[in-house]
Amino acid sequence: MNLPIPAKDRLIFALDIPNREEAEKYVRLLGESVGCFKVGLELFIKEGPDIIKMVKENSSASIFLDLKLHDIPATVSSALISAATHEVKFITIHGSGGKSILQTAAEVKSLGLEVLAVTVLTSVSESELKGLGFKENLSLSQLVLNRASEAEKYGCAGVICSGEEISSIKRVCKPDFKLVVPGIRPLWAEVRKDDQSRTITPKDAILKGADMIVVGRPIRNAKEPDVAARKVVDEIRSALIA
């Protein structure tokens, strides 16, 4: 049986920061308060795998390499094996590549790497689906659901999904299939108007069944980011016991 995930480990901080120096400041400040640091394309392409070393040297939190891999299966498979050598816990692949790409996730499970699939990018709107070659009557939510089911079937550890999709994915996937939810906006957050449109609070995300939440700006732009991170963890904890 899988043990429940502690509140702190459910908080992933997005290191959406352009350089090592700045990133290190946040890792030192938040290393004790968050369970995981997410390194994305911007920072990884700028600094290379050394950035992973830096996070490990300054914190015991786990690392999520958000590279959204999408290539032929052999290349994705080799990239995942390379990523596993850095001892990161999570990595993303695109969930649109079909069975043979999704199956590469199962190959690295034994190396301790958990592969999360991106179902449909949130930048894709329902009206764009037909232009992308999908059947006219296929809704965005159905496509997300189909891809989450496929990701689970072929060995991914979980998916990235929006707050709106948590309940429906939870209904069709097994309880241990992880739902990782970005677009988090606590009610007390100072970031109000930004590019996230389908937002949810930490509490509601956890109540709906999110396993982990990804938070960037509400913590990064707070006057005291460490206080904000601890507030998010408290909110997660209160939702877990509700």
Bridge partners (DSSP) of residue 11 are 213
Q: Which residue in the set 23, 55, 159, 214 belongs to the binding site for ligand C5P (CB under 6 A)?
A: 214
Check residue 14 for interaction with ligand C5P (CB under 6 A): yes
Check residue 233 for interaction with ligand C5P (CB under 6 A): no
Identify whether 68 is a catalytic site residue.
yes
Residues 6+ apart with CB under 8 A from 144: 119, 120, 161, 165, 168, 169
Say which DSSP state 9 is in: G
Taking CB under 6 A as the binding criterion, the range among 46-54, 127-135, 167-175, 177-185 that sits at the site for ligand C5P is 177-185
Check residue 71 for interaction with ligand C5P (CB under 6 A): no
Check residue 217 for interaction with ligand C5P (CB under 6 A): yes
Alpha-carbon distance of 24 to 22, in angstroms, equals: 5
Residue type, 86: H
**Backbone angle region of 98, left / alpha / beta, with phi > 0 → left and psi within -120 to 50 → alpha:** left
Alpha-carbon distance of 156 to 76, in angstroms, equals: 13
Check residue 102 for interaction with ligand C5P (CB under 6 A): no
R_g of the chain, CA atoms, integer Å: 17
Report the site for ligand C5P in 143-172 (rule: CB under 6 A): 160
Check residue 228 for interaction with ligand C5P (CB under 6 A): no
Residue nearer to ligand C5P on the CB measure, 77 or 203: 203
Say which DSSP state 200 is in: B
**Set 68, 135, 153, 231: catalytic member:** 68
Taking CB under 6 A as the binding criterion, the range among 44-52, 106-114, 150-158, 176-184 that sits at the site for ligand C5P is 176-184
Q: Which residue in the set 122, 143, 186, 201 belongs to the binding site for ligand C5P (CB under 6 A)?
A: 122
Alpha-carbon distance of 102 to 81, in angstroms, equals: 14
Residues found near ligand C5P in the complex (CB under 6 A): 14, 16, 40, 122, 160, 182-184, 196, 214-218
